[in-house]
Structure 1
Amino acid sequence: MPPIAFTADEFAGLAAGHGSAAALGKLAAGQLVRRRLLLWGVVREARAAALPVRDAVDLLLRVQARSAGTVADMLAHPQVDAWAADFPRTRALGYLHALAAAAAIRAGVPFTIDVPAAAGAVTLPGLGALAGAGDPVRLAFDGERLTADGSPAPLRARRSIDLGDVGGPVVAIEDVDQYRAQYRLPVAEPGAGHDRFAALWRAAWPLLATDHPAHARAVRLLVRSFVPLAAPAGGAEHSASSGRAVGAIALALPRTAESMALLVLHETQHLKLSSLLHLVDLDQRSQALYHAPWRADPRPFRGLLQGTYAHLGVTDFWRGRSAVQFAYWHGQTSRAAATLDGARELTAAGARFVAGMRATLDGWAGEPVPEAARRVAGVCIQVSGARWRLAHRAVGSDGLNRLTDAWAAGSAVPPGAAGTERAGAGADARILAALRNDRPALPAGDRALLAGDARRAAESYAATINSGTGGDDDWAGLAVALGAPDRPELPRDLHAALAATGPAPDPRDVVRWCAGGR
């Protein structure tokens, strides 16, 4: 088939955050071409290694002859990516045989084939799994009935959520495929929370279809399955996607339909960009790491690009829904897009893509936001930036000696004083609580800062620090309350050094001095 190429308008539409039906169709077509190539690569490598692939290939060719659409649908199964990518290392031929068997069952093509098991089970992609099977297990299908080693096959069928009655898509709950764990988060046990997942998705879909039809279109065309994740500690809401399994969205059971709609929109943005990156070079690899305002860890350029595109969708989701959330994510995403703009890693196409994102964000700058919401969002943005510096910067011993000497002498902060990079991990749980307006979950200092009472906030943060229970969150809040959010690592580290050798000074005095106004 001819190469997949985007018109200028199609590319611009994707860059702006959505994408026309034609552009999204090309993304899906690109994944199919990619998986055909991956499958051919597996077969070629297996043949070169004299591995037994003939039965599986012959069966796939028989299915292709009867129902090419069935083979294409099987190749749209997201986990095919991960299996094929890992094949040079694992030589896991069983999945190829199972893929051929599943395609034949779908197409009604009779067969008999031996399928190697994995950990005592055989996955039939898109259909389910057979547990307690022999190794290999002989599968036979007469066009109607499936047997395993001569007995009725005990298939644990994969469930799907069919929203066709409300104009929605059919999305599978993928909790049996052996290659579903493609994320740095543990997957849930099979069968966990099926009914709740289905109910939440049924309630979430109208939020997307009605309020965000362009995003709903992308979900309909690109999302094939949900992979349930194990419930995280503390009830946090987690989701993930992977370029190794485009079409699947992994998520822990959300609390509300609104949360599910947001998580699915967010991850669909990642799927769109992952699909585009398989077709168009937007960036060149580098070793540089960047601050992503939504992550606790420094990110490579590709990660920042992916995150910015995803949060373009998040910002869009909150437009007209929550002024505080919209203002916060608009500010943070705009900062990230500005970091991307002009970066040396961008190709010419990548520069056009980032320009498209920035144009959308700039167009939202005039959205009406109440002053109170704008102020709360601004405080949260400042605290987030200060918290990042506190997590990832520290004053070295030489710099700290100069600071303590200057403090003791009553002189100014030495020129160029700043922390240097260090490994660390930030946490914005308190900021997220503030954005949700979950004030009871916040300490007194945060509540005062969000209410606009900087003096009372500073008093509270200082008291917490003086009690010995304060941490980076309190230093970040104190720095913002006193109007000095730029280098919060200086007062934190200086205060610790002074407290280690004598009476601890008032943290507020240390912040003011480091800001140039002792």
Structure 2
Amino acid sequence: MNFAPLPAGVFTELARTRPAPADVALLRSALHARRLLLLKALLVRVHRHRESVDAAVFRRFEDSWHLLERAESRNPDVVRDVLDYPMTGAWLAAALAEPAGPALDRHLTRLEGIAVTAALRADCSLDLTLEPPDGRLSLPGVGRQTAGGGRLRIRAGSRVARIHPEVPQAAAPTVLLLTDRRAGALVGRGQGWDGLHTLPGSTARLDDLDPYRVPPDGIGTPPRTAAGPADTDPAVWSARWRGAQALLAHTDPGRAAEIRHALRAVVPLLPHGPRSQGATLRSAPGAVLTSLPAGAQDMAETLVHELHHSKLATLHELVPLYRQGRAAVHRVGWRPDARPIGGVLQGAYAHLALTDLWRRAATAHAAPRPWRSSAGQQFDHMHDQVGEALTILLESDELTNEGREFAQQMRRHHASLGAAPRAAG
């Protein structure tokens, strides 16, 4: 996917890891264009090979597509928001990579939940019956309704939707209320309903429900797996988020604002060892996957680190920064295993953002004294490692011309950070 060249100022600002509202808007636009491209690719594939798709699944996919179009004609901003939700990207990547067969058919039924979410948030009138394949209807970015082993009837209109499980002795229906028609904000209540929690002062969701939030085999080595509602205390996560925002607001207000506006979801992972571990899915930028951080400082650093993985993944789709398929691997200071050039670039970029943050924290009078002290130590530890990684990048022939310019701008910012910062008194 190629776009017009980025404005030089935006490209430089992104390489410096410094937050800027225009950069976030540009990356969001690029993300949306890619989502539309991938969705169209899935539609073409389904139509081109419809004989390999179960007939009932094909009909449901077509009905869902038409419902999505109807919602888009009513409120395009809401539909864009649903399509740009991180887990929609994870679903598209999984569906497009799956060979024809029952597994692909199961992926295709996911469009039903996406279309229903868009229609409900756009305040479309509805009267339809669904049979979720796993007994649960997932509404991305909103919540999940358990069907109780049967079908679900959904009736909606005039800002109110009712979901009726069609099982014997069913309880009263779940009621979803559209509290903000312009933003498409839904809140729900009822038996079998689990709604997503919104993190304080933002629109980001604490997403411990979406079936595509973590790959089935986990992420990373050793594999880290998704936490569910039974493992997640929203009050604790909200406190960590609020504490991280307060730290960043006193240290680097621009980063605090960027996180509030750029992150769409925080996905809890089950803990693996004493330290929290974060991750980002390339197919789902805007989502941070992490086990529960130890405190506000750990949360702030995780959010900054993972957000920059998301930003670089989106930028690379917009402007390729390195060539795929090379076999060469390189050693970097922050990992025990050798990394391909894309991994070196990703790691250098995310750690450059952290060194920038740590320098500011170490010299900020408003930052808590313990963070000022640890930030100075972390800066000392990481600054040289980032410099070594930048040398690897600039000596490599695996970067594109744009990638080399990007790495050069990263090096300029790295040099501007200087040596060890002088801690504030």
**For residue 171 of structure 1, what is the amino acid of its counterpart?**
A
Q: 1:299 and 2:315 equivalent?
A: no
Q: Which residue in the other structure is 1:290 paired with? A: 330
**For residue 255 of structure 2, what is the amino acid of its counterpart?**
H
Q: Given that residues 152 and 163 in structure 2 are in contact (C-alpha distance below 8 angstroms), is that contact kept between their aligned partners in structure 1? A: no
Give the Cα separation in 2 of the matches to 1:328 and 1:198: 30
Please list the CA deviations of residues 314-369 of structure 1 after superposition, one character each: whole Å capped at 9, or x if unmatched: 11221113322111111111111111113110111001110011111111224545
- Say which of 357, 360, 367 aligns to 2:410: 357
Which range moved further: 213-222 or 174-183? 213-222
- Aligned-partner SS, 2:199: strand
Q: 1:117 and 2:132 equivalent?
A: yes
Q: Which residue in the other structure is 1:126 paired with? A: 141
Q: Which residue in the other structure is 2:193 paired with? A: 155
**TM-score, scaled relative to structure 1:** 0.67
Q: Which residue in the other structure is 2:395 paired with? A: 342
Q: Which residue in the other structure is 1:312 paired with? A: 352
- Say which of 224, 246, 249 aligns to 1:206: 246
Identity, % of aligned pairs?
30
Give the Cα separation in 1 of the matches to 2:49 and 2:156: 29
- Say which of 228, 232, 235 aligns to 1:189: 228
Q: Given that residues 59 and 111 in structure 1 are in contact (C-alpha distance below 8 angstroms), is that contact kept between their aligned partners in structure 2? A: no
Please list the CA deviations of residues 418-471 of structure 1 after superposition, one character each: whole Å capped at 9, or x if unmatched: xxxxxxxxxxxxxxxxxxxxxxxxxxxxxxxxxxxxxxxxxxxxxxxxxxxxxx
Q: 1:162 to 1:324 in 2, by over 3 A?
A: closer
- Aligned-partner SS, 2:395: coil
Q: 1:337 to 1:116 in 2, by over 3 A?
A: farther
Q: Given that residues 111 and 140 in structure 1 are in contact (C-alpha distance below 8 angstroms), is that contact kept between their aligned partners in structure 2? A: yes
Deviation at 1:82, TM superposition (A): 1.3
Give the Cα separation in 2 of the matches to 1:62 and 1:178: 25
Give the Cα separation in 1 of the matches to 2:144 and 2:239: 24
Deviation at 1:78, TM superposition (A): 0.3
- Aligned-partner SS, 2:261: helix
- Aligned-partner SS, 1:287: coil
Q: 1:141 and 2:181 equivalent?
A: no
- Aligned-partner SS, 2:163: strand
- Aligned-partner SS, 1:230: coil
Q: Which residue in the other structure is 2:309 paired with? A: 270
**For residue 298 of structure 2, what is the amino acid of its counterpart?**
S
Give the Cα separation in 2 of the matches to 1:115 and 1:130: 12
Deviation at 1:93, TM superposition (A): 1.9
Give the Cα separation in 2 of the matches to 1:219 and 1:258: 14
Q: Which residue in the other structure is 1:256 paired with? A: 295
- Aligned-partner SS, 1:232: coil
- Say which of 195, 213, 235 aligns to 1:180: 213
- Aligned-partner SS, 1:17: coil
Which range moved further: 285-294 or 126-135? 126-135
- Aligned-partner SS, 2:318: coil
- Say which of 101, 112, 122 aligns to 1:97: 112
Give the Cα separation in 2 of the matches to 1:315 and 1:33: 32
**For residue 27 of structure 1, what is the amino acid of its counterpart?**
L
Q: Which residue in the other structure is 2:177 paired with? A: none
Q: Which residue in the other structure is 1:34 paired with? A: 34
Q: 1:16 and 2:23 equivalent?
A: no
Larger Rg: 1
- Aligned-partner SS, 2:145: strand
Q: Provide structure 1 residue ranges, at least 5 long, that are not aligned to the other structure.
A: 164-168, 371-518
**For residue 247 of structure 1, what is the amino acid of its counterpart?**
G
Give the Cα separation in 2 of the matches to 1:217 and 1:12: 20
Please list the CA deviations of residues 18-57 of structure 1 after superposition, one character each: whole Å capped at 9, or x if unmatched: 2422122110111111111112222222233332222111
Give the Cα separation in 2 of the matches to 1:107 and 1:311: 40
Q: Given that residues 101 and 113 in structure 1 are in contact (C-alpha distance below 8 angstroms), is that contact kept between their aligned partners in structure 2? A: no
Give the Cα separation in 2 of the matches to 1:93 and 1:206: 42
Q: Which residue in the other structure is 1:331 paired with? A: 384
Please list the CA deviations of residues 137-157 of structure 1 after superposition, one character each: whole Å capped at 9, or x if unmatched: 443324413223456143211
- Aligned-partner SS, 2:250: helix
Aligned 1:378-397 pairs, distance under 5 A: none
Which range moved further: 147-156 or 119-128? 147-156
**For residue 210 of structure 2, what is the amino acid of its counterpart?**
D
Q: 1:145 to 1:24 in 2, by over 3 A?
A: closer
Q: 1:369 to 1:332 in 2, by over 3 A?
A: farther
- Aligned-partner SS, 1:9: helix
Let me know the Cα RMSD of the aligned residues. Answer: 1.9
Q: 1:213 to 1:65 in 2, by over 3 A?
A: same
Give the Cα separation in 1 of the matches to 2:133 and 2:397: 45
Give the Cα separation in 2 of the matches to 1:3 and 1:349: 13
Q: Provide structure 2 residue ranges, at least 5 long, that are not aligned to the other structure.
A: 51-57, 99-103, 175-191, 363-371
Deviation at 1:221, TM superposition (A): 3.0
Q: Given that residues 150 and 165 in structure 2 are in contact (C-alpha distance below 8 angstroms), is that contact kept between their aligned partners in structure 1? A: no
Please list the CA deviations of residues 194-238 of structure 1 after superposition, one character each: whole Å capped at 9, or x if unmatched: 1100011011102223312332343233210100010222x2111
Give the Cα separation in 2 of the matches to 1:30 and 1:136: 38
Q: 1:237 and 2:276 equivalent?
A: yes
**TM-score, scaled relative to structure 2:** 0.81
Q: Given that residues 79 and 177 in structure 1 are in contact (C-alpha distance below 8 angstroms), is that contact kept between their aligned partners in structure 2? A: yes
Q: 1:84 and 2:99 equivalent?
A: no
Q: Given that residues 4 and 26 in structure 1 are in contact (C-alpha distance below 8 angstroms), is that contact kept between their aligned partners in structure 2? A: no
